[in-house]
């Protein structure tokens, strides 16, 4: 399970970095979204990865720190998803306004000459 999550995080980070380095603004926006998804998945996986287990305290074991799943990463990821959605929507509106004002969707505002 840890290998699958690690590979998913690696693929999301590499695709996000590649898209952030592209010259078009929409590709940069998608790259930033992929990077935020990778960070969210990493934070979520830090909490604990277990299948068919109780979410916080397991029955039959003492509720100490050795047998406890921390709910803080889950709440951080939930908050980050909401904030990421809002900033992505704001960034998309700004990109559409920039496209309307400059007739270009390049990051630096200039088209390359063919």
Got the DSSP string for 4-26? HHHHHHHHHHHHHHHHHTSSBHH
pLDDT, mean of residues 92-113 = 80
Instruction: Establish if 55 belongs to a structural domain.
Output: no
| Residue 35 CA: distances (Å) to CA of 2, 7, 49, 67, 80 | 19, 14, 21, 31, 12
Residue 53's pLDDT band (cuts 50, 70, 90): low
Domain of 44, in residue numbers: 2-48+70-102
Instruction: Establish if 109 belongs to a structural domain.
Output: no
Q: What count of residues does the chain have?
A: 114
Instruction: Establish if 65 belongs to a structural domain.
Output: no
pTM of the predicted structure, to 2 decimals: 0.77
Instruction: Establish if 25 belongs to a structural domain.
Output: yes
Total number of domains constituting the chain: 1
Rounded Cα gap, residues 94 and 87, in angstroms: 10
Instruction: Establish if 96 belongs to a structural domain.
Output: yes
Instruction: Establish if 88 belongs to a structural domain.
Output: yes
Instruction: Establish if 107 belongs to a structural domain.
Output: no
What confidence score (pLDDT) does residue 7 get?
95
Question: In this structure, are residues 49 and 2 in contact, taking their beta carbons and an 8 Å threshold?
Answer: yes
């Amino acid at each position: 399970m840890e290998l699958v999550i690690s590979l998913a995080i690696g693929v999301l980070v590499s695709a996000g970095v590649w898209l952030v380095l592209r010259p078009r603004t929409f590709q940069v926006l998608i790259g930033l979204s992929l990077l935020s998804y990778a960070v969210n998945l990493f934070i979520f996986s830090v909490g604990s990865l277990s299948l068919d287990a109780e979410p916080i305290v397991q029955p039959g074991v003492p509720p100490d720190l050795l047998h406890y799943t921390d709910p803080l990463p889950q709440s951080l990821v939930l908050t980050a998803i909401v904030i990421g959605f809002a900033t992505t929507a704001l960034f998309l509106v700004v990109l559409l306004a920039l496209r309307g004002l400059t007739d270009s969707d390049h990051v630096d505002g200039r088209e390359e000459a063919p």
